[in-house]
Amino acid sequence: MGHMFQKLSAALLLPVVILPVAAVYLAIGDQLGWVALRAAGQSLLVTYLPLLFAVGLALGFTGRDGMAALAGVIGYAVMASVATAIDPAVDSGVLGGMAMGGAAALLFHRFHRVRLPEYLGLFAGKRFVLVLSSLAGVLAGVFFGLTWPPIGRLIVGMGQWLYAAGALGAFVYGVFNRLLIPTGLHHILNNLIMYVAGGYADPVTGQLVHGEVPRFYARDPSAGYLLAGFYLTMVFAVPAICLAIAHEARPGERARVTGIMVTAALTSAITGITEPAEFAFMFLAPALFVVHALLTGAALWLTYVLGVRHFGMALPMFFINLGFADRAWLIFPLGAAFAAGYYLLFRYLIRRWDLPLMGRVPALPAAEAGDTAATAAPVLEALGGAGNVVSIDACLTRLRVELVDPGLVNAEALSALGASGLSRPGASLVQVVMGTSSAALCEDIKGLLTRTRPTVVLVAPLTGRLLPLSQVPDPVFSAGTVGPGVGIDPSEGRLLAPAPGRIEYVFPGGHALTMTTASGLELILHLGIDTVRLAGQGFTVRAGVGQAVKAGELLVEFDPKAVALAGFSPISVLIVANAGQTARVQAASPGPVRAGHDPVVRVSLKGGE
């Protein structure tokens, strides 16, 4: 769970970082009348925001694989088209984008190694993920198309109740106005309150107008009570949140975070657009967002009770609409009180709950100014060497490393190299704070890993007799269709890891599994021939999906004799599934081998030549 949360944190950076820029485009376009620039901001903040989240999650959970990102785009495009074909009013919002990005990542991990018959080779491997993502988009589109309209009707009914419920309705409206933002359904509620609810005959034109906003401008004395409280949120509370996040950033990160948060705060106060600030903590700290939603409800309740009537949600609109408002002067003292309360409460909760918000780890000025290429080798050595690294990635300020043996990490050496922090969010996970040069350092280490590991040796996963793959009694394996490798006729039933790496998938029943080695090799370990028909009988899995394993670590226990008595061949295979990324796969000579000791395959990596 910790590993997943860390990846989610990094994945959300992509759409969150672009939001303040989009808001600036929108604000400048509005103020200067530049339609094109306003359209640019609108496209990023509204039209394509779900797509940004789809791409962000797909990249974040697949090690920034471009094909996975494309799968996320395809899945979201298909989903949105299918949903709107069923009901043109459907808008799944950010939730739909996140759903399809997550689906693309799951499909990528499960199917990106799939091999198909030669005549279907165009769709094999990662391209197969694109096909499946489109299918997932169809299914998700049907789901959203059928479920979102009833949910929308529920919200319409809720909006009608809110309008009639007085101060309580104002509170509930404020809460759900915030809580529905991730789903995109808040627009339904807002449009209902602002442009549908209530009726008033304009005394000048005699025209009947509906909705809080048209009635407010028609000088309906009952309009504006449900909307005045948003000034407290947009103009005062959200900037206070930004200030709290900036002040809770660690000293080395404070300047960078302050720059981002000042932009978000001004965007909220001047334009009423709160997403740049709210998306900075909405998904990383959902409990904090719930607190924010409740306080927004309290703001609307308070202004309703005090008889404040206004509309605008942004500071310039306060003065523009002042002639239509009542008791508007109360907004400033109330707003100041809300800002102070928000600031103190958010700083307390961020510390109390130790929330992993932007800037909560320090940047490293020395590392930023240094030569990451020169630092990469000693950092890799301090992490336990190339053979200890299963995977490595980076966010803005941290290296995120999955290791075979975290005990080999030399914390003192990392500190001497400029690391200003070291955390262990999971059993095999380490985060090293190297400052804003972390991304560049990560790429240098990845390149170094390829250069320093030109040859990978796979040891015997089973004790028994090594066989050439051509002698395996299965035409798919023996022909090398799945990939090159070796067969083993086992004399003992303990399947061991042939190299350090991570378990990617365990087939139902435990008769086979896939793993990725620390050097990037994708291996298939299959026990017996056609043993899927045993439905797991006699197989005991000792390692789970996502687990980092050492060479020689126990993965599965089974009984080769029982397999033979059941009428199946116990001959097992070790396959290198991504052999196309290697220069050569060389099998050892046939003969007896001991599990965890004798080398059976040598793989020369292309990057090492």
Q: What is the pLDDT of residue 590?
A: 92
Q: 3-state DSSP call for residue 392? A: strand
Q: What is the pLDDT of residue 334?
A: 94
Q: What is the pLDDT of residue 369?
A: 39
3-state percent helix, strand, coil for the chain, nearest multiple of 5: 55, 15, 30
Q: What is the pLDDT of residue 139?
A: 96
Distance CA 576, CA 524 (A): 7
Distance CA 322, CA 30 (A): 20
Burial 133-171 (b: 16+ CB within 10 A, else e): beebbeebbebbbeebeeebeebbebbbebbeeebebbb
Q: What is the pLDDT of residue 163?
A: 72
Low-confidence ranges of the chain (pLDDT < 50): 1-2, 362-370, 608-609
Contact criterion met (CB below 8 Å) for 264 and 242: yes
Distance CA 166, CA 211 (A): 15
Domains identified in the chain and CATH numbers: 165-359 (no CATH), 365-452 (3.30.1360.60), 455-608 (2.70.70.10)
Q: What is the pLDDT of residue 120?
A: 74
Distance CA 331, CA 317 (A): 13
Q: Active-site residues: which are they?
A: 395, 526
Q: What is the pLDDT of residue 195?
A: 62
Q: What is the pLDDT of residue 524?
A: 94
pTM for this predicted structure: 0.49
Q: State the Cα torsion 39-44-45-51 to the nearest 10°.
A: 140
Q: What is the DSSP letter of 25?
A: H
Q: What is the pLDDT of residue 317?
A: 79
DSSP strand pairing (582-587 vs 554-557) = unpaired
